[in-house]
A and B are shown apart, each in its own frame.
Chain A
Amino acid sequence: MSSTILLQSIGFGITTAAVVAIGAMGFTLQLGVTNLLNLSFGNVMTIGAFASLIAEHWHLGLAATIIAAPLAGALVTFVLARTLFALFARRQGGAFDLLMVTLATGLIIQYTIDALAHLQVFQFSFPSGSTLNIGPFVFTVLSLSLVGVAALVLAALLAVLHLTRIGKALRALSVDPKLARACGVPMRRMINLTWIISGALAGLAGLVYVTNSLTVDASAGLDFLVLVIAAAILGGAGSPVGAVVAALVVGIASEVVAAVGGSYYSQAAGLGILALVLVLRPASGVWSGPSRDEVTV
């Protein structure tokens, strides 16, 4: 591989990292607070992308197109959590049972979208803007905007988690829900808030994904989920900064692998990183800190 292609793929990787980072921040927040590995997260990304697509198709304007994705993501995630996930959690479902429930939920969403969309791949028109050369990398205005969105999301999430009392309560809850409850922290309200924020981030990640790839189908989010989970686990559950740094690693690795072996292998890069993390650093990521058995849905 020539150095030009390598540098180009790193540039693409930075943009991919922005998409992965937004998803991974939502995923890691959800995993950190609820301790639930939610495999329907990728499908909520797809719903966010389709919501924006519909808003664009109906010519509702740019603001509505942008808002539609996080709004749909938050709404769907909240409803799923309060109905399906809560139902199985009440039946004393353990972490594995709930994992299966989220997997099944994701598949139901995917096939429902497939049925409604007649297996079509949809085009999304978004002006990519002029091309900019920054050092050895080539970016478009649009791809740089996506990196900016990811940076803004990180700043906002850090501000909420570290500067507000609600954010501190969420961090406390992710460390020790029992103690947080004994402190009088309203669990249900905090967990609902987590579903809403993380769902909105899933929807936003879906929009950013479709803005970058300009096409979307029913399996788009699910394909991207591998990279999101790899970044969230590499970065450590509940750590937005870790998720962003890990997203950069995963994003660049997936694009470099795709440049070398073809786009088919970009998912393999995510899976490879995930496997390496689990094998080499078993005490890191979701397994770090005090052990938590309780899934708080």
Chain B
Amino acid sequence: MPDQLLRVTGATAGYRGVPVVREVDIAVGASEIALVVGPNGAGKSTFVKAVIGELPLMSGRIEFNGKDVSGWGEERRAAGGIGYVPQTRDVFPTLSVIDNLEVGGFRLSPKECKQAIAQMFERFPALERLRHRKARQLSGGERKMLAIARALMADPKVLILDEPTAGLAPRIAHEVLEDLVVGLAKLGRGILLIEQRVTLASAVASHVTVLVDGRVSYAARGDEFRAVPDVSALFFGSGEAAERSSWSAARGPA
């Protein structure tokens, strides 16, 4: 499917030969927000590490923009257009705002980098006012804004956001999801969003995947997920009772 920017098929990954996530399928299209939720220890972080290339796949396949990138390293995936904003340690604290952006655009030519910084300041005017401030001196919301702007410097087609609202006040968390994340998707980027705040995040999601014990226990369109009366049952139900909607059946691997 040409509109699928990122397609993960049967991904199994883990540490020292022991799989933590098994047979995970997820697809992210342009302008879509693919939400991954699950209880603590479900394997969300391991899954993200596998997608960005920090952790090799034990089996399965990752396609990006129609190419098999399963064997690509982290730097190559980043340079190729997979942006990543970690949950913590998402900026370089001892570098200024503008230096953080410059590192984010390291692969660009000096001219392109300058233009990209100007675009970021246009999109995030608050950052321009703080351009010479060290990242460690920013508030939680400003810091997350910088982290996203830093990731956008390379103009990624897909942006992976690992719990972007973690540690933020509810109002700021709402702003990050409603304004920032939705705004980025509207510009044509595919967003792979990992979140703990299920209700808040599912409100903006195009589709939702629930990971439990390293496996996909449920996958559905955003509207289908929002209609589920008791979401907690999806989190704490057994993996064997995996439920798949008409959407996931249609989008799953052939």
A289 touches B75 (CB 8 A): no
Bound CA span A169–B78, Å: 15
Q: Is B78 in contact with A175, judged by CB distance below 8 angstroms?
A: no
A178/B54 contact (C-beta < 8 A), A171-B94, A289-B94 known:
yes
Chain B residues with CB under 8 Å of A183's CB are 78, 103-104, 106, 150-151, 154
> Interface-forming stretch among A6-14, A184-192, A200-208?
A184-192
Apart from the given pairs A179-B92, A184-B154, A289-B93, 12 other A-B contacts in the complex at a CB distance below 8 Å = A165-B106, A168-B99, A175-B94, A176-B89, A178-B54, A180-B92, A182-B54, A182-B74, A182-B84, A183-B103, A184-B106, A185-B75
> Does A55 sit within 8 A of B, measured CB to CB?
no
Whether A82 is near chain B, meaning CB under 8 Å from some CB there, is no
B107 interface contact, C-beta 8 A: yes
Q: From B90, which residue of chain A is reached at the shortest CB distance?
A: A179
Question: Which residues of A lie under 8 Å from residue B89 when comparing CB positions?
Answer: 176, 178-179, 290
Tell me whether B185 is interfacial, beta carbon within 8 Å: no
Given A175-B94, A175-B95; A184-B110 close (CB under 8 Å): no
Is A172 in contact with chain B by the CB < 8 A criterion? yes
A165 lies within 8 A of B78 (CB): no
A165 to B111, CA, bound (A): 12
Take A176-B89, A183-B104 as given contacts and tell me if A168 and B74 are in contact as well, using a CB distance cutoff of 8 Å: no
A178 to B150, CA, bound (A): 14
Asked whether, in the complex, the Cβ of B95 is within 8 Å of the Cβ of A169, the reply is no
Which residues from chain B contact A181 at a C-beta distance below 8 Å? 54, 74-75, 78
Instruction: A187 to B89: give the CA distance in the assembly, Å.
Output: 18
On whether A171 and B92 interact (CB within 8 A), knowing A165-B113, A185-B75, the answer reads yes
Q: Mark B76-119, 1 if CB is under 8 A from A, else 0.
A: 00110000101001111111000110111011001001000000
With A165-B110, A179-B86 known as contacts, the answer to whether A184 contacts B93 (CB < 8 A) is: no
Main secondary structure of the interface of A (DSSP, over half): helix
Q: Which A residues lie within 8 Å of B107 (CB)?
A: 184
Q: List 5 A-B contacts (CB under 8 A).
A: A165-B106, A172-B100, A180-B92, A181-B74, A182-B74
**Across-interface contacts of B94 in A (CB, < 8 A):** 171, 175, 289
Nearest first, the 7 closest Cβ-Cβ pairs linking A and B are A184-B78, A184-B79, A172-B103, A182-B84, A184-B107, A172-B92, A175-B92
Smallest Cβ distance from A193 to chain B, in angstroms? 13
Tally chain B residues at the interface, Cβ within 8 Å.
27
Tell yes or no: B52 within 8 A of A by CB. Answer: yes
- A168 engages B104 (CB within 8 Å): no
* Interface members, chain B 18-48 (any A CB < 8 Å): none
A20 to chain B, nearest CB (A): 24
Closest to B160 in A: A182
A172 to B84, CA, bound (A): 16
Residues of B within 8 A of A (CB): 52, 54, 74-75, 78-79, 84, 86, 89-95, 99-100, 102-104, 106-107, 110, 113, 150-151, 154
- Which residues of chain A come closer than 8 Å to B99, judged between CB atoms? 168, 171-172
Which residues of A line the B interface, CB within 8 A?
Answer: 165, 168-169, 171-172, 175-176, 178-187, 289-290
Residues of A within 8 A of B90 (CB): 179
| Candidates A168, A169, A182, A290; contact of B93 at CB < 8 Å | A290
Q: Looking across the interface, which residue of chain B has its beta carbon closest to that of A239?
A: B94
Interfacial chain A residues near B150, Cβ < 8 Å: 183
Which residues in B have their C-beta under 8 angstroms from that of A168? 95, 99, 102-103
Q: How far is the CB of A166 from chain B (nearest CB, A)?
A: 9
Contact at B95–A172, with CB atoms within 8 Å?
A: yes
Which residue of chain A is the closest to B54 with respect to CB atoms?
A: A178
**Contacts known (A165-B113, A176-B89, A289-B94); A187 close to B75, Cβ less than 8 A:** yes
**Residues of B contacting A182 with CB < 8 Å?**
52, 54, 74, 78, 84, 86
Task: Report the nearest A residue to B147, measured CB to CB.
Answer: A179
Q: Contact at A171–B106, with CB atoms within 8 Å?
A: no
Complexed CA–CA distance, A171 and B103 (Å):
10
* Interfacial chain A residues near B103, Cβ < 8 Å: 168-169, 172, 180, 183, 185
How many Å lie between the Cα of A69 and that of B91 in the bound state?
A: 38
Q: In the docked arrangement, what's the CA distance between A187 and B73, Å?
A: 11
Give min CB distance, A199 to chain B, whole Å.
Answer: 24
Task: Compute how far the CA of A187 lies from the CA of B79 in the bound complex, rounded to whole angstroms.
Answer: 13
Q: Which residues of B contact A171 (CB under 8 A)?
A: 92, 94-95, 99
Residues of A within 8 A of B102 (CB): 165, 168
Partner of B106, one of A169, A175, A290: A169
Task: Kindly provide the distance from the CB of A138 to the nearest chain B CB, expressed in whole angstroms.
Answer: 40
Q: Say whether, besides A172-B103, A180-B103, A186 and B86 are in contact (CB < 8 Å).
A: no
Q: Cα distance A185–B100 when bound, in Å?
A: 12
Residues of B within 8 A of A289 (CB): 93-94
| Chain A residues within 8 Å of B79, by CB | 184
Nearest chain A CB to B108 CB, angstrom units: 9
Chain A residues contacting B52 (CB-CB under 8 Å) are 182
Chain A residues within 8 Å of B113, by CB: 165
Smallest CB separation, B44 vs chain A (Å): 17
